[in-house]
């Protein structure tokens, strides 16, 4: 019996990054995925760079213990704040969501006006703006932090008057400045795609960072000859740092992503981190 | 020169517990307060009991290093989930916000119907319901988790159409069941007192857990003869586990609470926790 090929390691502050895991499964069905959601410390969107770097490095260490062949940062905040540090300290390639999203936005815009929505930390970092302008210095980037969207999504209010009202307030200045492309700069946001598209109207293309990140992972694995044999069927394992109810189920249903046993391991706990993992079913 | 008397240690998942610190300062102006906000892991409201217990014990250890003469759990979620564990492991008295709030609700109600609003974890714990029914088994308690209120408050949307709409949805079933008393079972909620009172109407009394907790702390200190000399002027020191922007300023302004230097110390960081604290001004 040949051992299974090493997995792709994917992490997010919580379970929003399952949108990236779902996209990787669609595009690379032969790959095994080991997913870590840092639900004990979620959300990252309002936290500082040193804290987000520290959390990201801790999780990367865990993914490397699981023999991850590449680390996918399926969280825009961690991508915006921690990717350089992860790249310099990890022995495997690290793929964030910001660079692929920025490239897709540059490819999409016709009028050179791009909007970006994300958490407070992502927008404050200026990461999308920098990535987009590195590719095309003539593009004007309009960014708006949308801190209420993650809580609304975690409550499952995908189609709701309250969500529409919040979206209207966040998107009005972007739409007023004539953007033709809008980057969904948070891995939770694809779950609001319908509501965002309705408000943005047919003249605005939505760039989904999850989808573009999965395509970048495919290219990276091919280039480095790390792809799993195409004939096999990959697995998805999910581990969390705290038991969470509700949203994991919501996300798995909304994404039609079958998640079986979920293991829980506290990170940053006092004492050795080899304590027995706990598992719970979904 | 006599050394200063030991401080009251106060903690919360974030800066919401400053409502309790403000109430303690009003009621006990001679006491020093050392306040810890666990902003690196905020919020607690959706996390599990083992995780909230672990975080609370870590912070209690820090407060004891600061010679706290009593520990005030200025967070309803931590009060609901971690107070028994803290009481059994700490050598000083531990005061939560649930018991005083429950007692105030029992004293307030005339028709025996009490509403409680709080985070998901607080409501799921049933802590208020148990405390109220221990005091008066005839009281009917109606509880509603309100997970969107903390994010709205942290955005400073105290007077806003969106907040009113969210409150209307949460409060409608409580008001429909004829409550005459509503417990604000989260230390953030006093900042929404105006908006909540408008929706609840004049027939419903609001019970503020911050105010009642401060009164319980006064009684506890008197009973144990731990009060500071009445003629002195107390100080407030604030420490956070991550630098936060925005809400600390919002809360300090809304509460008219002067907060000077704020120190930052990461908790649960790898390595010894004696690393130099960092400070930043407000």
Residues A240, A166 share a domain: no
Last residue of a domain, one of A189, A209, A229: A209
A53: domain CATH number? Answer: 3.40.50.1860
| CB contact B144 to A (< 8 Å) | no
Tokens of A52: 């987000």
Q: What is the mean pLDDT of residues A58-67?
A: 96
Last residue of a domain, one of B209, B242, B268: B209
Residue B271 pLDDT class (50, 70, 90 cuts): very low
| Alpha helix segments (H runs only) across B76-192 | 76-89, 98-108, 120-125, 127-135, 149-154, 161-176
Residue A267 pLDDT class (50, 70, 90 cuts): confident
Residues A225, A203 share a domain: no
Number of other residues whose CB lies within 10 A of the CB of residue A230: 9
A contacts of B54 (beta carbons < 8 Å): 266, 269-270
Residue B4 pLDDT class (50, 70, 90 cuts): confident
State yes or no: pLDDT of B13 exceeds 90.
yes
Residue A270: half-sphere exposure toward Cβ, Cα within 13 Å: 11
Q: What is the mean pLDDT of residues A58-69?
A: 97
A57 within domain boundaries = yes
Let me know if A75 is a catalytic residue. Answer: yes
Strands (E), chain B: 8-12, 33-37, 70-73, 94-95, 113-118, 140-145, 181-185, 205-208, 236-240, 262-264, 278-280
Instruction: Output the average pLDDT for chain B.
Output: 90
Residue B1 pLDDT class (50, 70, 90 cuts): low
User: In angstroms, rounded to a whole number, what is the distance separating the alpha carbons of residues B95 and B76?
Assistant: 11
Residues A224, A87 share a domain: yes
Residues A86, A16 share a domain: yes
Residues A182, A157 share a domain: yes
Say which DSSP state B159 is in.
Answer: S
State yes or no: pLDDT of A102 exceeds 50.
yes
Q: Which of A244, A146, A248, A252 is nearest to A199 (CA)?
A: A146
Is there a contact between A180 and A203 (Cβ–Cβ < 8 Å)? yes
For the stretch B175-180, contacts whose Cβ atoms lie closer than 8 Å and that sit 24 or more positions apart, written own/partner, are: B175/B115, B175/B199, B175/B200, B175/B201, B175/B204, B177/B113, B177/B115, B177/B140, B177/B142, B178/B111, B178/B113, B179/B113, B179/B114, B179/B115, B179/B142, B179/B204, B180/B108, B180/B109, B180/B110, B180/B111, B180/B113, B180/B114, B180/B204, B180/B205
DSSP helix/strand/coil, A172: helix
pLDDT value for A231:
87
A204-263, pLDDT tens digit by residue? 999 998 899 999 999 999 999 999 998 899 999 999 999 876 667 777 777 777 776 788
Last residue of a domain, one of B194, B209, B224: B209
Nearest-Cα distance to chain B for A151, in Å, is 6
Residues B163, B29 share a domain: no
Tokens of A131: 């990535």
Looking up tokens 């390639």 gives A93
Q: Which of B163, B167, B120 is nearest to A156 (CA)?
A: B120
Q: What is the mean pLDDT of residues B155-172?
A: 96
Number of other residues whose CB lies within 10 A of the CB of residue B164: 15
CB contact under 8 A, A51 and B155: no
What's this model's pTM, rounded to 2 decimal places? 0.90
Length of chain B: 282
pLDDT value for B69:
98
Computed over its alpha carbons, how large is the radius of gyration of chain A? 18
Let me know if B186 is a catalytic residue. Answer: yes
Cα nearest neighbour of A150 on chain B: B151
User: In angstroms, rounded to a whole number, what is the distance separating the alpha carbons of residues A67 and B143?
Assistant: 46
What ipTM goes with this model?
0.87
| CB contact A58 to B (< 8 Å) | yes
B113 within domain boundaries = yes
User: In angstroms, rounded to a whole number, what is the distance separating the alpha carbons of residues B122 and B185?
Assistant: 8
A contacts of B169 (beta carbons < 8 Å): 162
Domain count, chain B: 2
Full residue range of the structural domain in which residue B227 is found: 8-96+212-280
Residues A239, A204 share a domain: no
A contacts of B242 (beta carbons < 8 Å): 47-48, 51
CB contact under 8 A, A51 and B58: no
Q: Which of A234, A235, A217 is nearest to A226 (CA)?
A: A217
A127-137, pLDDT tens digit by residue? 999 999 999 99
State yes or no: pLDDT of A275 exceeds 90.
no
| CB contact B205 to A (< 8 Å) | no
| CB contact B48 to A (< 8 Å) | yes
State yes or no: pLDDT of B132 exceeds 60.
yes
| CB contact A152 to B (< 8 Å) | yes
User: In angstroms, rounded to a whole number, what is the distance separating the alpha carbons of residues A86 and A282?
Assistant: 31
User: In angstroms, rounded to a whole number, what is the distance separating the alpha carbons of residues A74 and A54?
Assistant: 16
% of chain B beyond a pLDDT of 90? 77
Computed over its alpha carbons, how large is the radius of gyration of chain B? 18
**Beta-bridge partner residues of A144:** A117
pLDDT value for B266:
81
State yes or no: pLDDT of A33 exceeds 50.
yes
Residues B133, B43 share a domain: no
CB contact under 8 A, B47 and A58: no
User: In angstroms, rounded to a whole number, what is the distance separating the alpha carbons of residues A156 and A254?
Assistant: 9
């Amino acid at each position: 019996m040949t051992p299974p090929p090493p997995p792709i390691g994917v992490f997010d502050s919580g379970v929003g990054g399952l949108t990236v895991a779902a996209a990787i499964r669609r595009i690379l069905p032969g790959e095994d995925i080991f997913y870590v959601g840092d639900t004990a410390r979620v959300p990252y969107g309002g936290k500082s760079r040193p804290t987000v770097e520290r959390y990201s490095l801790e999780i990367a260490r865990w993914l490397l213990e699981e023999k991850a062949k590449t680390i996918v940062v399926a969280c825009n905040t961690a991508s915006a704040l921690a990717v350089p540090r992860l790249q310099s300290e990890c022995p495997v390639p690290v793929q964030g969501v910001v660079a692929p999203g920025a490239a897709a936005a540059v490819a999409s815009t016709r009028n050179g006006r791009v909007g970006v929505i994300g958490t407070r930390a992502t927008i404050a970092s200026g990461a999308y703006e920098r990535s987009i302008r590195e590719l095309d210095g003539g593009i004007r980037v309009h960014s708006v932090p949308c801190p209420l969207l993650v809580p609304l999504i975690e409550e499952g209010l995908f189609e709701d008057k309250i969500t529409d009202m919040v979206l209207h307030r966040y998107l009005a200045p972007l739409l007023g400045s004539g953007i033709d492309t809008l980057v969904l700069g948070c891995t939770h946001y694809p779950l609001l795609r319908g509501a965002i598209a309705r408000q943005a109207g047919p003249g605005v293309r939505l760039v989904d960072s999850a989808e573009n990140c999965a395509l970048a992972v495919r290219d990276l694995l091919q280039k480095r000859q790390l792809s799993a044999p195409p004939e096999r069927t990959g697995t998805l394992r999910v581990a969390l740092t705290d038991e969470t109810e509700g949203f994991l189920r919501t996300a798995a249903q909304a994404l039609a992503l079958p998640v079986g046993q979920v293991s829980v391991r506290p990170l940053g706990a006092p004492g050795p981190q080899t304590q027995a993992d706990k598992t719970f079913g979904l």
